[in-house]
């Protein structure tokens, strides 16, 4: 009798814990736009560019700039040769449908999408933006992109 009473009490306690404790809300939810601390122009400066993964063959420099507003994000890249003369200027299609998630106090994940046409203007492509941004200070951020190096950017007035 005592044993069955203990089993019934244990089941009652387990039942109340499982069904009566409210669900824990997920802290990191997605929000539309870009956080106010990240909006603006961010200059990446000049980075050394190599043509292989072992970083032996120096080919020139790459400069990049990010533009982040509440409704879109865009990146401009300039490729320079060894003598710092322009080889290529690339402007990425603006990413729209921007949303962000705060991962920690100073770390954000930003996602968006871009639709653009190819050089022949016949084919339509889509790209997905996926950035992890860490706020170092008011004027310094690091931007990490999948399969690329993490780069430091400075705010441009």
Question: Which residue ranges make up each domain of the chain?
Answer: 28-156
User: What pLDDT, on a 0 to 100 scale, did the predictor assign at position 91?
Assistant: 75
User: What pLDDT, on a 0 to 100 scale, did the predictor assign at position 1?
Assistant: 62
- Specify the CATH architecture of the domain 28-156: Beta Barrel (2.40)
Structure tokens at 53: 């993964």
User: What pLDDT, on a 0 to 100 scale, did the predictor assign at position 73?
Assistant: 83
User: What pLDDT, on a 0 to 100 scale, did the predictor assign at position 101?
Assistant: 92
The pLDDT tens digits for 9-65 are 776 677 666 565 555 555 568 999 888 888 888 888 776 766 656 666 677 777 788
**What is the pLDDT confidence band of residue 89, given thresholds at 50, 70 and 90?**
confident
The pLDDT tens digits for 99-145 are 999 999 999 999 988 887 766 667 777 888 888 989 998 888 888 87
Structure tokens at 22: 């409210």
Residue 16 to residues 7, 9, 10, 13: CA-CA distances in angstroms? 14, 11, 10, 5
Secondary structure of 39-52 as H, E, C letters: CEEEEEEEEEEECC
Q: Given a cut of 70, is residue 3 above it in pLDDT? A: yes
User: What pLDDT, on a 0 to 100 scale, did the predictor assign at position 62?
Assistant: 75
Host H or E run for residue 14: helix 2-20
User: What pLDDT, on a 0 to 100 scale, did the predictor assign at position 66?
Assistant: 81
User: What pLDDT, on a 0 to 100 scale, did the predictor assign at position 23?
Assistant: 53
User: What pLDDT, on a 0 to 100 scale, did the predictor assign at position 107?
Assistant: 93
User: What pLDDT, on a 0 to 100 scale, did the predictor assign at position 90?
Assistant: 75
């Amino acid at each position: 009798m005592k044993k069955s009473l203990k089993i019934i009490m244990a089941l009652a306690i387990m039942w109340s814990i499982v069904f009566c404790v409210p669900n824990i809300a997920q802290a990191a939810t997605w929000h539309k736009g870009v956080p106010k601390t990240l909006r603006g122009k961010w200059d990446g400066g000049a980075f050394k560019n190599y043509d292989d993964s072992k970083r032996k063959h120096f080919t020139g420099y790459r400069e990049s700039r990010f533009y982040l507003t509440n409704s879109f994000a865009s990146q401009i890249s300039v490729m320079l040769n060894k003598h710092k003369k322009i080889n290529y200027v690339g402007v990425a299609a603006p990413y729209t449908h921007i949303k962000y998630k705060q991962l920690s106090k100073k770390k954000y994940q930003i996602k968006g999408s871009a639709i653009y046409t190819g050089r022949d203007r016949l084919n339509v492509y889509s790209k997905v933006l996926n950035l992890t941004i860490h706020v170092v200070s008011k004027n310094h951020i690091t931007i990490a992109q999948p399969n690329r190096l993490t780069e430091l950017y400075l705010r441009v007035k």
